[in-house]
Amino acid sequence: MSFHEGFVDADGFRIRFMEAGEGPVLVCLHGAGGLHLSRGHDLLALKHRVIAFEMPGFGESAENTRSATIQDLAGTMAAAVRALGIETFDLMGTSFGGKVSLWLAALHPERVRALVLEAPAAIRPEGSRPAAGTPEEMARRLYAHPERMPPFPEVDPAVRAKMLTLVGRLRGPDRDAVLQERMRGIETPVLVLFGTMDGIVPSEMGRHYKALLPHCHLIFVYDAGHAIAAERPEAFTEAVTDFLARQEAFVVTRRGTMIFP
């Protein structure tokens, strides 16, 4: 699937996005490493209009010193979607983007039809730190089988430092009591996916989302690391597209979990 680049002005920022496909709108918010399209995005775009944003302060965008909290960033991204003329949409957040997405859904529940959280980093083990290291070290943490994946891209040191500073400022505590209380009131259907071999956010964190979110479906994707959509794109997309189509009639019951083959 061929993605094309676009830009939108919202909340005082010039925000880059990549878009492909037709159908129901699926807004994607990336992790702490910035926007990286994967085979999973390509497959999702076969059935959805996928809009993958580069959040302000990531990638080649200017340094973001204005977003004081992650709630601010969530509000900016909600404004960016509205600036594209889109009022309601499905939302997918990856890792750090999962926390932004949870806040967006909590602040604008009338706009988010369904929420997908890929290896979300909103709830972390005590004492965790933002992932950093050489490309080889990052690949070992992101993938269950880094030898099967293309080389992890080099990132300009200045860009990396800019993103780490922003993430460090916005990521908040490992267990954010305010967010967790807001999660209890999110009535939106939610799908949470963790790789069974996640080297950044342990998959056992999934049980917290199950306990806090009223309409949460939890899936563990077998033989996948943190970057599930990149490493197991077919399994990931099959689960996500089925969930977005069925929502509360999804194949996984609210009470159970599932190890996806």
Write the DSSP assignment of the chain as a string of letters: ---EEEEEEETTEEEEEEEE--SSEEEEE-BTTB----HHHHHHTTTSEEEEEE-TTSTTSPP--S--SHHHHHHHHHHHHHHTT--SEEEEEETHHHHHHHHHHHH-TTTEEEEEEES--SB--TT-------HHHHHHHH-S-GGGSPPPPP--HHHHHHHHHHHHHHS--SB-HHHHHHHTT--S-EEEEEETT-SSS-GGGHHHHHHH-TTEEEEEETT--S-HHHHSHHHHHHHHHHHHHHGGG-SS-SS-EEEE-
pLDDT band at 252 (very low <50, low <70, confident <90, very high): low
| pLDDT value at residue 131 | 73
Could you tell me the CATH number of the domain that includes residue 45? Answer: 3.40.50.1820
Percent of the chain scoring above 90 in pLDDT:
79
pLDDT band at 155 (very low <50, low <70, confident <90, very high): confident
pLDDT at 89 > cutoff 70: yes
Domain count, the chain: 1
Output 124 or 136, whichever has higher pLDDT.
Answer: 124
| pLDDT value at residue 153 | 75
| pLDDT value at residue 126 | 87
pLDDT at 260 > cutoff 80: no
pLDDT band at 258 (very low <50, low <70, confident <90, very high): low
Domain that holds residue 218: 4-260
Query: Rounded mean pLDDT of 9-17?
Result: 97
pLDDT at 254 > cutoff 60: no
Output 224 or 139, whichever has higher pLDDT.
Answer: 224
pLDDT band at 141 (very low <50, low <70, confident <90, very high): confident
Q: Summarize pLDDT for 169-223 with one digit per residue, the tens.
A: 998 999 999 999 999 999 999 999 999 999 999 999 999 999 999 999 999 999 9
What's this model's pTM, rounded to 2 decimal places? 0.94
Q: How many whole angstroms separate alpha carbon 150 and alpha carbon 28?
A: 22
Least confidently predicted of 44-48, 64-68, 120-124, 137-141: 137-141
